[in-house]
């Protein structure tokens, strides 16, 4: 074989070894096309589900025939994919891909040549779960402390979870499914008390967690004695009862009583009692003096505020909320009748023009303690009418705008109350209809200059809430719930945040009577009374001075269909308007136990709906829904017995009475 032939043979062998074909008699070579990529297959994914609104996560896809360059598609969108092996890929799934509950398809695509898309694995995006809280850190502080970060531990937290302080949202950071944190401003811990901490998850699903208690440990006032003094009177000693008072120790100062904004010479009696020397110069002018306690060296203060009255109350004006004719076809708007009060006789005189417009089915009227503003709850309008009071004439003027919405989800507002400080107002929502199953209390702050209400949210109540009342210290609120479905009644109990006015539930007590229709608290803040319109009696309760919780001390019979209860300002007498028997039941109050003792009844008009006692304790007034008038009475300040002084016309279906006085 020639040398040239040998070289040709060697080239053929090398070409074959390298997978190169030889064509023709020349030596030109071409590359064989590479092998095609296989079609991938998925077997399992991990995790298989997450809650809607959760954080970004890594999805692991297991299967076969994965190649470098394979891409995971989640809900139809290619995701950033990492090749682990021919049997596993991982993909970065952003939070934006799991905001809505449903099924997301997961597939894998191998690139060309060949390749293709795998079978589908379903990934479930569940509705947002209800979160659960287990611990908070910190769980307490001193009053007047600095802003801080609150850490909440629990489960089922998601991106979008919000920490709520007494029902109000706080800026929240999502850390993990078991931890979130919130920024708490100094204003939330300005005074002693407690705050309810919850976490709320957004829709779909979601909802509020259980509640944990944050304690603001510091001085708390429960009662003061005396509660008033005559203008220009002599110096006196004020006794302040409460908790967490501190004695001076070494160079450290003890608790100090502040009266009308001035620190007074204070004597430490015990952790539950202080006394303070109030000079005659502090009570020369009629008005309201705020009483607080501070623990300066421990940072514990100020306490809640209790009002001290300087001067005597004289009744001036009366206002009656008239429902009007309520009909689905042609309802007549309600209005407010306006009267002046003769401070000597108690007789009412109608103002001209006599009434001012309100909303549909005006159920209740209340005035602030200063006598500057009046509010009316309109059940069928679902709002609250707001008015200013002319200090000279008593005439009402509607604010602009004249109304503010209540809680539409819980049907119409049925009752309104203003706290003793005049800073907050509360409206019970749960009128007729199925919406009453979702009863609530609307919470408002009051503009000190204009009287305008500003909503700070709602808090749940019981079934068909009929009446709301605030205790004299402004620390607790109570709502009487008709609970018609159960044939009983109940009272929802709340603490009041002294800074924000927000309510925090402390539970519900079921009453032995049926259809709780009205609730009132005595001036000492030690007792509460609830009427039952379907069992014709009054439940009596003691109030825990520290927690506000009610404890039953029994019931006493009234007339037929009692709809309203009121306690006189001395705390010695109680009165109940009985709509079915057209009379008023009269009771004395045992100062030690709170028990009522009947002293008889006195006739009223037709279908009496409401009874009110003026701040001087000399007169009582009853709105009669059937006879469209107001019954007027004087009160025997020794026995509590009422004496009729006649009636005066009101509007159509008068439902509620509010009395405004002056201090002099």
- CATH entry 2.50.20.10 includes domain 132-216: no
- The beta-strand segments (E) located in 226-347 are 228-229, 236-243, 256-259, 262-264, 266-270, 273-278, 287-294, 306-310, 313-322, 333-341
> Is the pLDDT confidence value at 472 over 80?
yes
Poorest-pLDDT segment among 84-98, 190-204, 233-247, 272-286: 190-204
The residues spanned by each domain of the chain are: 1-32, 41-126, 132-216, 220-310, 365-663
- pTM value is 0.68
> Is the pLDDT confidence value at 22 over 80?
no
The full DSSP string for 59-71 is EEEEEE---TT-E
Confidence at 633, pLDDT banded by 50, 70, 90: very high
User: Average pLDDT, stretch 97-118?
Assistant: 93
Helical residues (DSSP H) of 61-154, grouped into ranges: none
Poorest-pLDDT segment among 71-85, 219-233, 345-359: 219-233
Confidence at 24, pLDDT banded by 50, 70, 90: very low
In the prediction, which pLDDT does 553 show? 96
Q: How far apart are CA 129 and CA 127, in angstroms?
A: 6
Closest-CA residue to 466 (of 620, 322, 568, 610): 610
Does this chain's domain 220-310 share its CATH topology with 365-663? no
In the prediction, which pLDDT does 393 show? 93
Closest-CA residue to 491 (of 443, 459, 528, 536): 528
In the prediction, which pLDDT does 41 show? 97
> Is the pLDDT confidence value at 436 over 60?
no
In the prediction, which pLDDT does 611 show? 98
Give the CATH superfamily of 220-310: Immunoglobulins (2.60.40.10)
Q: How far apart are CA 20 and CA 32, in angstroms?
A: 8
Confidence at 600, pLDDT banded by 50, 70, 90: very high
Q: What are the Cα distances from residue 371, in Å, to 319, 431, 451?
A: 11, 28, 11
> Is the pLDDT confidence value at 301 over 90?
no
> Is the pLDDT confidence value at 19 over 60?
no
- Chain-centroid distance of CA 544 in Å reads 21
Q: How far apart are CA 508 and CA 62, in angstroms?
A: 53
What number of helices (H) and strands (E) belong to the chain? Answer: 1, 57
Confidence at 239, pLDDT banded by 50, 70, 90: very high
> Is the pLDDT confidence value at 557 over 60?
yes
Show the CA angle centred on residue 437, arms to residues 435 and 441, nearest 5°: 85
> Is the pLDDT confidence value at 266 over 90?
yes
- How do residues 503-542 score in pLDDT, each as one tens digit? 989 989 999 889 999 999 999 899 999 999 999 999 999 9
Closest-CA residue to 177 (of 160, 155, 197, 198): 155
Could you please state the CATH topology (level 3) that the domain comprising 365-663 is classified under.
Methylamine Dehydrogenase; Chain H (2.130.10)
Tell me the residue length of the chain.
Answer: 664
Q: What are the Cα distances from residue 327, in Å, to 28, 323, 411, 436?
A: 102, 11, 16, 18
Regarding predicted confidence, which is higher, 311 or 17?
Answer: 311
Q: How far apart are CA 375 and CA 384, in angstroms?
A: 7
In the prediction, which pLDDT does 329 show? 59
Q: How far apart are CA 70 and CA 519, in angstroms?
A: 70
> Is the pLDDT confidence value at 208 over 60?
yes
Give the CATH superfamily of 41-126: Immunoglobulins (2.60.40.10)
Burial 124-142 (b: 16+ CB within 10 A, else e): ebebbbbbebeebeeeebb
Poorest-pLDDT segment among 14-23, 409-418, 653-662: 14-23
């Amino acid at each position: 074989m020639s040398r040239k032939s040998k070289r040709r043979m060697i080239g053929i062998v090398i070409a074959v070894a390298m997978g190169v074909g030889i064509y023709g008699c020349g030596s030109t070579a071409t590359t064989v096309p590479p092998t095609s990529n296989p079609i991938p297959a998925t077997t399992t994914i991990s995790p298989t589900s997450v809650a809607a609104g959760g954080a970004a996560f890594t999805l692991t896809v297991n299967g076969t025939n994965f190649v470098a360059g394979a891409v995971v598609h989640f809900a139809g969108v290619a995701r950033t994919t990492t090749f682990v092996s021919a049997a596993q890929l991982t993909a970065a799934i952003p939070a934006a891909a799991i905001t809505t509950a449903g099924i997301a398809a997961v597939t894998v695509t191998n690139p060309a040549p060949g390749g293709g898309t795998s079978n589908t694995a379903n990934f479930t995006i569940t509705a947002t779960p209800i979160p659960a809280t287990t611990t908070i850190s910190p769980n307490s502080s001193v009053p007047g402390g600095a802003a801080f970060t609150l850490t909440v531990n629990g489960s089922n937290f998601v991106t979008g979870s919000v920490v709520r302080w007494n029902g109000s949202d706080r800026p929240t950071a999502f850390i993990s499914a078991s931890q979130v944190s919130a920024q708490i401003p100094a204003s939330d811990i300005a005074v002693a008390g407690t705050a309810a901490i919850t976490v709320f998850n957004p829709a779909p699903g979601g909802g509020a967690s259980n509640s944990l208690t944050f304690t603001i440990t510091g001085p708390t006032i429960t009662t003061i004695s005396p509660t008033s003094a005559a203008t220009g009177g002599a110096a006196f000693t004020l006794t302040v009862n409460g908790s967490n008072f501190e004695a001076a120790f070494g160079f450290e100062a003890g608790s100090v009583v502040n009266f009308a904004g001035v620190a007074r010479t204070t004597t430490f009696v015990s952790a539950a009692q202080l006394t303070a020397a109030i000079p005659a110069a502090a009570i020369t002018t009629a008005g309201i003096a705020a009483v607080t306690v501070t623990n300066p060296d421990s940072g514990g203060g100020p306490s809640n505020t209790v009002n001290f009255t300087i001067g005597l109350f004289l009744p001036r004006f009366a206002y009656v909320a008239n429902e009007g004719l309520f009909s689905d076809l042609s309802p007549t708007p309600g209005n407010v009748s306006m009267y002046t009060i003769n401070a000597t006789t108690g007789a009412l005189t109608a103002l001209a023009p006599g009434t001012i417009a309100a909303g549909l089915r005006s159920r209740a009227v209340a005035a602030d303690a200063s006598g500057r503003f009046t509010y009316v709850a309109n059940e069928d309008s679902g709002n609250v009418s707001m008015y200013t009071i002319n200090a000279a004439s008593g005439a009402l003027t509607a604010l602009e705008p004249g109304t503010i919405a209540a809680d539409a989800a819980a049907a119409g507002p049925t009752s309104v109350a203003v706290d003793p400080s005049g800073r907050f107002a509360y409206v019970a929502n749960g009128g007729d209809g199925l919406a009453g199953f979702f009863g609530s209390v609307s919470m408002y702050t009051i503009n000190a200059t204009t009287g305008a209400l500003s909503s700070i949210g709602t808090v749940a109540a019981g079934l068909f809430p009929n009446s709301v009342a605030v205790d004299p210290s402004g620390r607790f609120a109570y709502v009487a719930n008709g609970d018609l479905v159960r044939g009983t009644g109940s009272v929802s109990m709340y603490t009041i945040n002294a800074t924000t006015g927000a309510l925090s539930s402390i539970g519900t007590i079921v009453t032995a009577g049926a259809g709780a229709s009205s609730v009132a608290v005595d001036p000492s803040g030690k007792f509460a009374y609830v009427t039952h319109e379907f069992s014709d009696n009054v439940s009596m309760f003691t109030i825990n001075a520290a927690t506000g919780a009610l404890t039953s001390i029994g019931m006493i019979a009234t007339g037929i269909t009692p709809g309203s209860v009121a306690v006189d300002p001395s705390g010695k007498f109680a009165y109940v308007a009985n709509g079915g028997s057209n009379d008023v039941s009269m009771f004395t109050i045992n100062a030690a136990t709170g028990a009522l003792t009947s002293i008889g009844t006195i006739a009223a008009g037709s279908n009496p709906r409401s009874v009110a006692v003026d701040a001087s304790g000399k007169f009582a007034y009853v709105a009669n829904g059937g006879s469209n008038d107001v019954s007027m009475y004087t009160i025997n300040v020794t026995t509590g017995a009422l004496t009729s002084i006649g009636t005066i016309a009101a509007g159509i279906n008068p439902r509620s009475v509010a009395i405004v006085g002056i201090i002099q």
